[in-house]
Amino acid sequence: MPETLDLLGYLAAFLAAVAFVPQAVKTIRSRDATAISFWMYLIFTVGEAFWLAYGIAIQSWPVILLNAIVLALAAIILTFKVRYG
């Protein structure tokens, strides 16, 4: 049963991380972040950093992987928001 739960966790992590890819790609390509909320992405990025720390603390690979990927993508989008929009 734990293996099934791990697969569920990895699938959830994959889908949640992939959901950020289109926004990151669009923002990078267009260099336009005017429609993106700075405060939302700032708060979200800080929250993702805490989730990553939590995942590391409990040694949960699905939580670590998801939040490392989403943190990187959110940080990219936030950086583009600061630079371009």
- List the CATH number of the domain containing 38: 1.20.1280.290
pTM of the full structure: 0.80
What average pLDDT score do residues 59-78 get?
90
What pLDDT does residue 30 have? 92
Cβ within 8 Å of residue 70, ≥6 positions away: 16, 17, 20, 48
Residue numbers of the domain that contains 7: 2-84
Read off the pLDDT of residues 45-64 as tens digits, 9 standing for 90 and up.
Answer: 999 999 999 999 999 888 89
Q: State how many domains the chain has.
A: 1
Read off the pLDDT of residues 14-51 as tens digits, 9 standing for 90 and up.
Answer: 888 898 889 889 988 998 888 889 999 999 999 999 99
36 Ramachandran zone, left/alpha/beta (phi>0; psi -120 to 50): beta
